[in-house]
């Protein structure tokens, strides 16, 4: 290794509005190295990748590629400089053949707009051979399996002369044997001098593949260390890594926990849904209680919420609301049963962006607030004003459009919608995602107030301190199953994280 590293990032910072996604990340990738990037959800991994691929322009810090400083990286420039990224969901054209896809990506096989089919085919075959993939270049991409599509992506990366390949959770949807195949390709790439940034939540993969590992936490690179010593022995343990990932004190600013909890408002018994991959989940949420649902992205938490709210109804197990067994068949039905749901993707579905906030707040209340389905515009405006004051929503007035508000204030509006209906169970999916620190603690207080008023709250959050600080009990999901339920007095960041991560 006489040359400069393929990639060197020094103290990179990046903010989105008030949210500081990267607070100074340093990272280095050498030729022929697999460097793993590890961190909780929201630690800044995705942002970092977007900085490397030129999708985001960093606010500060130095980015060097192959020894020379690059200040204005664009996605096109990044590709020219040999950086390729392979995403979980390959971005290929499903109706075109493998050869056509590779040809399109590499802009080869065509002269003056005329496709040279032979050259296209030969080139695709050569690249696929090179990574040891047994795929016929004439196959249409939609008939390939997910890992095969990833191999095509890798072939594209190779063909474009990529020196740096970023793999973002490449194995998330792969079976064991498919993983082995992918690992083989990683080794091939490595020996041909390509550097690989490898992102995965599966710790065992990091030990199997990586040479070095960098842990990100809260937008900072906490530590970079070698995974294996010269003679191949592990230098770091799984426990060490988890400790590094979560190692921050839980903020003492969370509201007091519940002293007493009431009757069960939600009881799940072996609930499952084939379509969304949730298997045999049993849990109970009591009135006045906040049950935190922890786990990694993709562990089935949102899917479980969607079952309870009737979006994808359960096809096995039983569900009871306020002690009465029910089948929740649609969100409309769920609202009638007294369930409220603030979805994760607030930007898209939690709020109707082009509607005024007072109308957004009354959206789910209609039958309760307006008997005879007659809208009382004055009462609606009054309700808007009331919640704007009560929740401290920063808006020009009840007629401000939902889309004109900041993230935290939008979140308060979608909470207000359910405050007005007073459901017996409120499901919150990532309620403080993308919300700045101040609004975050206000929302926390609000959630606790709701529980104190007797509502049962199911809190889905990937923010560990939030789950630990706010919940009365914590249920951990992994791979569509509920793997552990902890009392919040005993739970620690490490115990929750290891339950969520533990290699099954």
Partner 1 sequence: MKRYSRELTVAIALSALLVLLAIFAPHFFQPQPLLARLTAQVPVLVLTIGMAVVIISRQIDISVGSQFGVCAVVAGLMSAAGAPLGFALLTATLTGTAMGALNGFLVAWLGLPSIVVSLATMVTWAEVLRLFQQGRFINLPPRVQWFGFSQLVGQASLLFFALGLLGAMAYFLKNRTGGRHFYAVGSDSEAARLAGINPRGVTMLAFVLMGTLTGIAAFCNMVQSPQVDPKCGVGLEMKAIAAAVVGGVAVTGGRGGLWGAFFGLLLLATINPALTYMHVDAYWEKAIQGLVILLAVIADGLRTKRSAA
Among 62, 326, 363, 483, binds partner 1 (CB under 8 A): 363
378 interacts with partner 1 by CB under 8 A: no
User: Is residue 138 within 8 Å of 97, Cβ to Cβ?
Assistant: yes
Q: Which of residues 109-168 bind partner 1 (CB under 8 A)?
A: none
- Binding segment for partner 1 among 26-34, 69-77, 94-102, 366-374 (CB under 8 A)? 366-374
The residue behind tokens 């005329």 is 114
Residues whose CB is less than 8 angstroms from the CB of residue 102 and which lie 6 or more positions away in sequence, other chains included:
120, 123, 124, 127, 137, 152, 155, 156, 159
Q: Is 384 in the site for partner 1 (CB under 8 A)?
A: no
By the rule CB under 8 A, 208 interacts with partner 1? no
Q: Is 338 in the site for partner 1 (CB under 8 A)?
A: no
Residues 6+ apart with CB under 8 A from 114: none
Integer-rounded Cα radius of gyration of the chain: 25
Does 368 help bind partner 1 (rule: CB under 8 A)?
Answer: no
Interacting positions 291-310 with partner 1 (CB under 8 A): 309
Select from 288, 350, 398, 408 the one that contacts partner 1 (CB under 8 A).
350
Q: How many whole angstroms separate alpha carbon 65 and alpha carbon 188?
A: 22
* Residue 159: alpha-carbon gap to chain centroid: 30
Of the pair 118, 378, the CB lying nearest partner 1 is at 378
Is-contact 318 325, C-beta < 8 A? yes
One DSSP character per residue, 135-164 reads: --TTSBGGGS-HHHHHHHHHHHHHHTT-SE
The helix-helix angle for 407-421 and 377-390 (nearest 10°) equals 120
Q: Which stretch binds partner 1 (CB under 8 A): 33-41, 45-53, 98-106, 363-371?
A: 363-371
277 binds partner 1 (CB under 8 A): no
Given 96, 243, 401, 483, the residue binding partner 1 (CB under 8 A) = 401
Task: Select 222 or 355, whichever has its Cβ closest to partner 1.
Answer: 355
- What ranges in 220-356 are assigned the alpha helix state H? 238-246, 301-308, 331-337
- 326 makes contact with partner 1 (CB under 8 A): no
User: Do 268 and 477 form a contact (C-beta atoms < 8 A)?
Assistant: no
Contact with partner 1 (CB under 8 A) among 118, 176, 259, 348? 348
**Per CB under 8 A, does 353 bind partner 1?**
yes
Q: Are 270 and 317 in contact (CB under 8 A)?
A: yes
Backbone angles phi, psi at 390, to 5 degrees: -60, -40
- Shortest Cβ 196–partner 1 spacing (Å): 37
Interface pick for partner 1 out of 98, 364, 460, 500 (rule CB under 8 A): 364
Handedness of CA 492, 497, 500, 504 (dihedral sign): negative
Judged by CB under 8 A, how many residues of this single chain contact partner 1?
34
Smallest gap, in angstroms, from Cβ of residue 326 to partner 1?
A: 15
How many alpha carbons fall within 13 Å on the CB side of residue 272?
9
Q: Which stretch binds partner 1 (CB under 8 A): 117-125, 164-172, 352-360, 469-477?
A: 352-360
Which residue's CB is nearer to partner 1, number 153 or number 303?
Answer: 303
The SS3 assignment for 207 reads helix
Q: Give the Cα separation of 254 and 247 in Å (integer).
A: 18
| Interacting residue with partner 1 among 1, 256, 324, 377 (CB under 8 A) | 377
Least Å distance, CB 408 to partner 1, is 18
Binding partner 1 (rule: CB under 8 A), the pick from 318, 404, 406, 492 is 404
For partner 1, the binding residues (CB under 8 A) are 309, 311, 330-332, 334-336, 341, 343, 348-356, 359, 363-364, 366-367, 370, 373-375, 377, 399, 401, 403-404, 417
């Amino acid at each position: 290794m006489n040359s400069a590293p393929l990639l060197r990032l020094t103290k990179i910072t990046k903010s989105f509005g008030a949210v500081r996604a990267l607070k100074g990340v340093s990272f280095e990738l050498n030729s022929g190295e697999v460097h793993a990037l590890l961190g909780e959800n929201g630690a800044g991994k995705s942002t970092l990748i977007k900085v490397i691929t030129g999708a985001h322009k960093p606010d500060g810090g130095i980015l060097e590629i192959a020894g020379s400083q690059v200040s204005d990286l664009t996605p096109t420039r990044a590709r020219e400089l040999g950086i390729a990224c392979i995403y979980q969901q390959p971005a290929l054209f499903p109706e075109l053949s493998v050869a056509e896809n590779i040809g399109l990506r590499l802009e080869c096989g065509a002269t003056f707009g005329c496709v040279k089919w032979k050259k296209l085919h030969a080139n695709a075959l050569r690249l696929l051979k090179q990574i040891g993939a047994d795929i016929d270049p004439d196959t249409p991409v939609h008939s390939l399996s997910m890992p095969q599509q990833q191999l095509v992506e890798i072939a594209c990366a190779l063909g474009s002369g990529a020196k740096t390949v970023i793999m973002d959770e490449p194995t998330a949807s792969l079976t064991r044997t498919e993983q082995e195949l992918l690992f083989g390709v990683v080794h091939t790439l490595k020996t041909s001098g390509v550097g690989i940034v490898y992102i995965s939540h599966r710790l065992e993969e990091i030990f199997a593949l990586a040479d070095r590992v960098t842990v990100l936490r809260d937008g900072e690179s906490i530590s970079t260390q070698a995974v294996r010593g010269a003679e191949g022995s592990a230098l770091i343990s799984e426990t060490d890594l988890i400790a590094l990932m979560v190692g921050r004190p839980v903020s003492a600013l969370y509201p007091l926990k519940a002293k007493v909890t009431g009757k069960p408002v939600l009881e799940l018994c072996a609930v499952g849904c084939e379509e969304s991959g949730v298997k045999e989940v049993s849990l109970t949420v009591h009135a006045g209680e906040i049950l935190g649902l922890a786990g990694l992205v993709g562990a089935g938490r949102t899917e479980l919420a969607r079952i309870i709210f009737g979006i994808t109804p359960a096809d096995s197990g039983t569900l009871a609301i306020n002690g009465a067994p029910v089948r929740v068949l649609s969100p409309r039905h769920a609202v009638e049963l007294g369930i409220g749901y603030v979805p994760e993707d607030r930007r898209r579905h939690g709020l109707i962006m082009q509607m005024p906030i007072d109308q957004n707040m009354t959206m789910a209340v209609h039958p309760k607030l307006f008997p005879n389905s007659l809208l009382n515009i004055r009462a609606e405006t009054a309700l808007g004003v009331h919640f704007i004051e009560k929740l401290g929503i920063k808006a020009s007035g009840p007629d401000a459009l939902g889309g004109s508000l900041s993230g935290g204030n939008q979140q308060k509006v979608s909470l207000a919608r359910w405050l007005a209906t007073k459901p017996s169970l409120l499901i919150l999916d990532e309620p403080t995602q993308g919300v700045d620190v101040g609004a975050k603690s206000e929302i926390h207080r609000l959630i606790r107030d709701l529980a104190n008023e007797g509502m049962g709250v199911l809190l889905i959050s990937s923010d560990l301190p939030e789950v630990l600080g706010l919940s009365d009990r914590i249920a951990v999901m992994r791979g569509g199953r509920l793997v552990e339920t902890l009392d919040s007095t005993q739970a620690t960041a490490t115990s929750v994280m290891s339950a969520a991560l533990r290699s099954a």
